[in-house]
Amino acid sequence: MSTGLLQLQDVVLGHGARSQAQHTSKSFSLNVSPRERLAILGPSGAGKSTLLHLMSLDLPPAMGSVTFKGRVSADWSVAELSHHRAVMPQNGQVAFGLEVHLVIALGRVARAQDPCVAAIVAAAAQLACVDHLLWRRCDTLSGGELARVHLARIFAQMWDVRDSLILIDEPLAALDLGLQVRILQSLDTFAAERHHAVVAVLHDVNHALKAFDRLVLVKEGRLFADVPSNDQAVLLFERLYGLRLESLRTADRSLVVLPASTRCQCP
């Protein structure tokens, strides 16, 4: 296997002995390279979040191995890992009504000495478009606001490290179109400046095509396809989602995919 930032070797999307016995035929291998942008796509319940948990080293593999920066998952302590990868889960509820600035600062807790924490929290909040919410309680926020707070926490965690890994689960799900574009731009700029790789679970195929280098498609607990983010993905999308699709190129040559029209053509 070629070297990379993250390697999954002969893993399955499940855990425990029963999973190993039932899903050996579903095993697959996957690499993430430094600085890569990888989007995970698939129908609801296909195993996207489970794959992200495996890639984050939060979920021990039922079979196979996960290697990050040349070390297997069991060799990483939680504290040490927090300096090299950051995870934004799909469900980001916050207990006790903590204020936003405190939640963002949680991204820095593994650092014994952190004299710049206040400045980093403020800068991370601005990048995630929540600087106006710093003194609000998290239990008063909308779903989209809370998602951006957790993204700011990720930015704070990875602010002063390089060549690491960011994993995020549906970061755009509760955002309006303008914020979706701004957050994708912020994420890309942040990662590019620090040479981080980014892995994101997405539902919008057009965001994936525009902002990511590579697409990992998951269906029914299996790796369905692993393809570049270009035209060859369109036919695979049709098989993945069971839809007939149309594609076009915009003025800037970006690829856009839409469901084919099924509207009745009245005389």
Residue 236 in this model has a pLDDT that exceeds 80: yes
**Lowest mean pLDDT, pick from 8-22, 188-202, 243-257:** 8-22
Average model confidence (pLDDT) for the chain?
89
Q: Is the pLDDT of residue 1 over 60?
A: no
Task: Give me the residues paired with residue 100 across strands.
Answer: none
Answer yes or no: is pLDDT of 198 > 60. Answer: yes
Residue % of the chain over a pLDDT of 90: 69
166: left (phi over 0), alpha (psi -120 to 50) or beta: beta
**Per-residue confidence band for 26, with pLDDT thresholds at 50, 70 and 90:** confident
212-217 contacts, C-beta under 8 A, 24 or more apart: 212/37, 212/38, 212/39, 213/36, 213/37, 213/38, 214/36, 214/37, 214/38, 214/39, 215/38, 215/39, 215/41, 216/30, 216/38, 216/39, 216/40, 216/41, 216/51, 217/41, 217/42
pLDDT at 3: 63
* CA–CA distances in Å: residue 246 to residues 88, 231, 236, 238, 260: 32, 11, 12, 10, 5
Domains and CATH numbers, the chain: 1-84+163-171+190-267 (3.40.50.300), 92-160 (no CATH)
The helix-helix angle for 143-157 and 117-127 (nearest 10°) equals: 130
pLDDT at residue 263 is higher than 70: no
Q: What is the pLDDT of residues 35-90, one digit of tens each?
A: 999 999 999 989 999 999 999 998 888 889 999 999 999 899 998 999 999 999 88
From CA 34, how far away is CA 41, in angstroms rounded? Answer: 20
Higher pLDDT, 113 or 176: 176
- pLDDT category, 25, cuts 50, 70, 90? low
**Residue 20 pLDDT greater than 50, yes or no:** no
